[in-house]
Structure 1
Amino acid sequence: MNSSVESSSNNPSCGPSQVPYLLRFESLFHSGRGLSFPCDARGQVALDQLSEQARDNYLFARAVVGHEYATPVVQRCYG
């Protein structure tokens, strides 16, 4: 996966060729909405594997934790 996933679901699903974990930034203002990024089990995101747009979204979400987004959580994908 090379982009962020804007989602309105609390249970992310991933296809078989995608990573088994997502780092999820939940919106503080829009219940159930947020941004998710492929990561490992520890929540490490491979920035060099993200598209430019996804990288920008990730860096933005990380910068506004506590203002726009909640502290991110690692979620296992369901496929």
Structure 2
Amino acid sequence: MNGSQATGGFVLCFCRLQDGNQLYAFPCDACGNVDMDSLSERARHNYLYARALMGLQVGWPAVQSIS
């Protein structure tokens, strides 16, 4: 996981389009909302980077339960 460690019950996962491998995962709520204020600076940068590359290098994110 290249985002931050998940502390809740869900993570928002971004996978590489090329092979489907997970690149990034960020703690989120059940609807996929990420609290950017709770992310570290590096995780926030990775989150914004992943969002910018949706459809280009990474697929649309998916919410996954971690419980």
Matched, 1:36 2:25: yes
Query: Which consecutive aligned stretches of 4+ in structure 1 deviate over 3 angstroms post-superposition?
Result: none
| Structure 1 equivalent of residue 48 of structure 2 | 59
What is the alpha-carbon distance in structure 1 between the residues aligned to residue 21 and residue 43 of structure 2?
Answer: 20
For residues 52 and 27 of structure 1, the distance between their equivalents in structure 2, rounded to whole angstroms, comes to 22
User: 10, 15, 28: which is aligned to 1:21?
Assistant: 10
Q: Is the 8 A contact 2:13 2:22 kept in 1?
A: no
AA partner of residue 35 (structure 1): Y
> What SS does structure 2 have at the residue aligned with 1:53?
helix
Tell me the distance in 2 between the aligned counterparts of 1:24 and 1:48: 18
Partner amino acid, structure 2, of 1:76: S
Give identity over the alignment, percent: 40
* Partner Cα separation in structure 2 for residue 40 and residue 62 of structure 1: 17
Aligned CA RMSD, in angstroms, stands at: 1.6
Unmatched segments (≥5 aa) in structure 1: 6-13
- 2:3, 2:25 within 8 Å by CA — same for their partners in 1? yes
TM-score, normalised by the number of residues in structure 1: 0.74
The alpha-carbon deviation at position 32 of structure 1 amounts to: 2.1
- The alpha-carbon deviation at position 34 of structure 1 amounts to 1.6
